C-alpha cells in the first residue's frame, strides 16, 4: 500500500496506521488488551503493551471464534487464528472532528461470532457521519464459565475494557467519547443489555441498541454455579483455572461442546453466558432493567418476527423448552393452540428468548418512565431457498438493513435478489438519528404504558399501538 493511502493516528499505546476508504478510513485489529494467553488466559483483561513503530492496522485481527459457524448462522463470520483476540476495528469518516460513535458487539450465542464479518463494515455509518467500532471478545468457557481461581464474566470485562479504550482513544479517530452508543445483535444484543446492568460500564456510553438481545433465562449467581457443576459432571474435568489453563483450543472446544449439547439436564440455549455474579453484574439483567437500577440510558430494542421459527423438530421437543421458560399446563396448551402443530419448538425459542423477553423489558422500562423504543422486523423476502424459508423474518435478517449493506457478501442468499432499499434507508436512518440525537425520529414515539407504540419494520414501516399484546398475553407478562 502506498503512503498516499495510509492514515496514521496516535493512541495511548502507540501510533496506528490505517487505510483510506471511499468513506474515510479504517483501522483493523487494534489491540485494546494483551493477548489472553498463559497466565492471562482466564484473567481480567490487561492494557496492551505499548509499541514503538506504527502498528499496521490493515487487516482484521485474530478472532476468539476458532471454527466457522456456517452451520449455525446466516452471517459470514470468519475465524482468524492468533493469540491477540482482544482487538477492535475502527471505521471513521475522518480522523478530525467530533462525531457520534457506534460500538458494535457481535453475536454468536456467546460461543461464536466474529467482528471481522463483512456485514459489520462501517461504510454506510461513515457516509452518514458516524464512527463505528466493532469489538472482539472472549467466548464460551474462556469468557463466561464460572471457574475457581478466575474472575467471573471475563467476556463482560472485555467489553468494558474495549469501551474504556474508546473513551481514551476515539477522539484521535474523529469520534466524540461523550457521544457513544453501544449496539449488538443476538448475544451482542444480550451484551448490550448486560452492560446496562454493569456498574463498571456506566458513563462509558450514553445510549444503547439491543437487536434480538438474549441472555440466560435464569441468570442469578446460582445459575452460573449450576453451569460450572454441569461442566464438571459432563466432562469429568473440574471447572478450575488449574485444570483448564494448559489445554489447547481444540481440547477446550471439545469440552465446551460436551457442556452445551442439548439434554434433559440442559434444555435451554445460552448455557455459557453472562450471569449475575454479584460483583461485575450485581443482579440479573431483567431485574436491573425492569426496576430502573440500570439507569436512564435511552434504549432501542426489538427482534425479528420469526427468529428461530424454522427449526425442524417434533413438537414434543417443545414441551421441556416451554417448561424451562416457565410455560406449563394450561398456558403451554394455549401456546400450542395459538401457533398450531409443526413449529412449536422454534416458536418457543423465538418467544422465550426474544419476543416475550423484549416486550417484558420494554413494559418494565415504560413503567419506570425510561426512554425506550420497541420494534419488530417483519419483512421477509418471499423467496424460498438457501438457509431461509422465504416467508419468514428470521434471526439476523434485519442486520443488512440496519447497516444499509444490502450488497454485502451473503445477503442475496437470505434476502433474495431484490431486497427493498427503501426499508434499509428507513431502518438505517432511524439508527443514525438515534445515535446522533437520542431519538430515532420518523414519527416513532417512545414506548409508554398508555400506548405501547411499536415500530413494525416492513416494506411500509409503520407504528402500531401495542402490536405485540398477544405475546404478552400468551406468556402472562
Residues serving a catalytic function are 186, 307, 395
Determine phi and psi for 266, rounding to 5 degrees.
-160, 75
Q: What is the rounded distance in angstroms from the CA atom of residue 455 to the CA atom of residue 373?
A: 8
Kind and range of the H or E element at 48? none
Q: Please spell the DSSP secondary structure of 149-168, one letter per residue.
A: TS-S-HHHHHHHHHHHHHHH
DSSP letters, 69-108, are -TTT-SS-------S---EEEEEES-SSS-EEEEEEE--S
Give the gyration radius of the chain's Cα atoms. Answer: 21
Distance between CA 143 and CA 42 in Å, rounded? Answer: 8
What does the angle CA 109 – CA 398 – CA 474 come to, to the nearest 5 degrees?
70
Q: Tell me how far apart the alpha carbons of residues 269 and 252 are, in angstroms, rounded to a whole number.
A: 19
Taking the C-alpha atoms of residue 207 and residue 431, their distance in angstroms, rounded to an integer, is: 11
How far apart CA 174 and CA 166 sit, in angstroms, is 11
Evaluate whether 231 touches 237 at the Cβ level (below 8 Å). yes
> What are the Cα distances from residue 129, in Å, to 98, 161, 426?
10, 25, 16
Neighbours of 145 (CB within 10 A): 25
Neighbours of 10 (CB within 10 A): 12
3-state secondary structure of 16: strand
Under 8 Å CB-to-CB from 138, ≥6 apart: which residues?
36, 64, 85, 86, 144, 154, 155, 158
Number of DSSP helices (H) and strands (E) in the chain, helices first: 16, 13
CA distance 470 to 159: 35
What are the angstrom distances between the C-alpha of 12 and each of 33, 36, 177, 182? 12, 20, 15, 22
Amino acid at each position: 500500500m502506498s503512503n498516499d493511502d495510509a492514515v496514521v493516528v496516535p493512541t495511548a499505546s502507540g501510533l496506528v496506521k490505517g487505510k483510506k476508504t471511499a468513506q474515510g478510513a479504517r483501522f483493523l485489529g487494534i489491540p485494546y488488551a494483551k493477548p489472553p494467553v498463559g497466565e492471562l488466559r482466564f484473567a481480567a483483561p490487561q492494557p496492551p503493551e505499548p509499541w514503538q513503530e506504527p502498528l499496521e492496522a490493515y487487516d482484521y485481527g485474530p478472532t476468539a471464534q476458532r471454527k466457522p459457524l456456517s452451520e449455525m448462522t446466516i452471517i459470514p463470520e470468519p475465524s482468524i487464528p492468533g493469540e491477540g483476540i482482544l482487538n477492535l476495528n475502527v471505521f471513521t469518516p475522518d480522523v478530525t472532528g467530533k462525531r457520534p460513535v457506534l460500538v458494535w458487539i457481535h453475536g454468536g450465542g456467546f460461543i461464536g461470532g466474529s467482528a471481522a464479518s463483512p456485514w459489520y463494515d462501517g461504510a454506510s455509518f461513515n457516509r452518514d457521519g458516524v464512527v463505528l467500532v466493532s469489538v472482539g471478545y472472549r467466548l464460551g468457557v474462556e469468557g463466561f464459565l464460572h471457574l475457581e481461581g478466575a474472575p467471573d464474566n471475563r467476556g463482560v470485562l472485555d467489553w468494558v475494557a474495549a469501551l474504556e479504550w474508546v473513551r481514551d482513544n476515539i477522539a484521535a479517530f474523529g469520534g466524540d467519547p461523550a457521544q457513544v452508543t453501544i449496539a449488538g445483535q443476538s448475544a451482542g444484543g444480550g451484551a448490550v443489555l448486560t452492560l446496562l446492568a454493569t456498574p463498571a460500564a456506566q458513563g462509558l456510553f450514553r445510549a444503547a441498541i439491543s437487536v434480538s438481545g438474549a441472555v440466560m433465562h435464569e441468570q442469578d449467581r446460582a445459575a452460573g454455579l449450576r453451569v460450572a457443576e454441569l461442566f464438571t459432571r459432563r466432562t469429568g474435568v473440574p471447572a478450575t483455572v488449574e485444570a483448564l489453563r494448559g489445554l489447547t483450543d481444540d481440547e477446550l472446544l471439545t469440552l465446551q461442546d460436551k457442556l452445551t449439547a442439548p439434554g434433559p439436564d440442559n434444555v435451554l440455549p445460552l448455557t455459557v453466558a453472562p450471569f449475575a455474579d454479584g460483583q461485575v453484574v450485581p443482579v440479573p439483567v431483567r431485574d436491573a432493567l425492569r426496576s430502573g437500577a440500570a439507569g436512564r440510558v435511552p434504549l432501542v430494542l426489538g427482534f425479528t418476527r420469526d427468529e428461530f421459527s424454522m427449526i425442524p423438530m417434533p413438537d414434543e421437543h417443545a414441551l421441556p423448552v416451554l417448561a424451562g421458560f416457565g410455560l406449563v399446563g394450561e398456558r403451554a396448551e394455549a401456546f400450542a393452540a395459538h401457533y398450531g402443530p409443526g413449529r412449536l419448538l422454534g416458536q418457543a425459542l423465538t418467544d422465550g428468548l426474544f419476543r416475550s423477553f423484549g416486550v417484558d423489558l420494554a413494559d418494565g422500562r415504560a413503567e419506570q418512565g425510561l426512554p425506550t423504543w420497541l420494534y419488530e422486523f417483519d419483512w421477509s423476502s418471499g423467496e424460498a431457498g438457501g438457509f431461509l424459508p422465504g416467508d419468514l423474518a428470521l434471526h439476523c435478517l434485519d442486520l443488512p438493513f440496519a447497516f444499509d449493506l444490502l450488497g454485502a457478501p451473503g445477503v442475496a442468499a437470505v434476502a433474495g435478489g431484490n431486497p427493498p432499499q427503501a426499508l434499509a434507508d428507513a431502518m438505517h436512518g432511524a439508527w443514525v438519528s438515534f445515535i446522533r440525537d437520542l431519538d430515532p425520529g420518523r414519527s416513532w414515539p417512545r414506548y409508554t404504558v398508555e400506548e405501547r407504540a411499536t415500530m413494525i419494520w416492513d416494506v411500509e414501516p409503520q407504528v402500531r399501538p401495542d402490536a405485540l399484546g398477544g405475546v404478552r398475553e400468551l406468556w402472562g407478562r
